Amino acid sequence: MKTEVNPKDTVRSEAFEMWMTSPMPMVTLTKTFDVSNLLKVGKKSGVKFNALLCWCIGKAATQVKEFYLLPEQDKLYHYDAIAVNVIVNNSEGGINSCDIPFTEDIAKFVHSYNNLTRQAAEECKSSFIEDSMIVGTSAMVQTELDCIVNQYTDKFCNPMVMWGKYRKGWLKTTLPISFQFHHVQMDGGHGAMFLELLQREIKNRE
């Protein structure tokens, strides 16, 4: 459920006053992750790396309460649920967007991920969830990337997690991940907390 709230009744009241009218309110943090364990889990279970990573992103986001608040068109909204957006290459050479509802049940999440992304690729149609806070993702695996800074538009204030191709080393595989968020939604400390939680979920996944 999506509910409009009075910013003054939330912990983001001061941030709303400071950053809502800023011409560039987005913040980008980049961290290099050890994703060795996630590759092992994917190989053992037959689950795609990106599906596992998206589940870890959703899991980490649910542990930071600021993710449930989002500014939109000079207003602030509270959400009861989180979903992860995935960009899909479709059969016509274009792209489509899929919102995957997050659930603690990783098997159920992966099932939704596989079905929705396959449908988008085949039918060239996007699917959206209107009543969940969407964490956007974008995987540009054609090349290794050090950092990604997304465009800012007031039509899309959602947090965005982006990455390129992972890097295989002798002892571990690493992946730089960029995390972009609206300063009204959270501060840098909250963003850093999310990245630490994400690394923990990646390492602890079985």
* CB neighbour list of residue 183: distance below 8 Å, 6 or more residues apart: 15, 18, 19, 22, 25, 26, 27
Mean pLDDT of 71-79: 94
Instruction: List, for residues 110-123, the tens digit of each pLDDT value.
Output: 999 999 999 999 99
* CB neighbour list of residue 48: distance below 8 Å, 6 or more residues apart: 42, 113, 114
Indicate the residue type of 157: C
In percent, how much of the chain has pLDDT > 90?
91
Instruction: List, for residues 113-152, the tens digit of each pLDDT value.
Output: 999 999 999 999 999 999 999 999 999 999 999 999 987 7
Say if residue 110 is exposed, middle or buried (CB neighbours under 10 Å; 0-12, 13-18, 19+): buried
What's the pLDDT at 156? 84
Which class does domain 2-6+25-204 fall in? alpha beta
Instruction: List, for residues 164-178, the tens digit of each pLDDT value.
Output: 999 999 899 999 999
What's the pLDDT at 151? 79
* Boundaries of every domain in the chain: 2-6+25-204
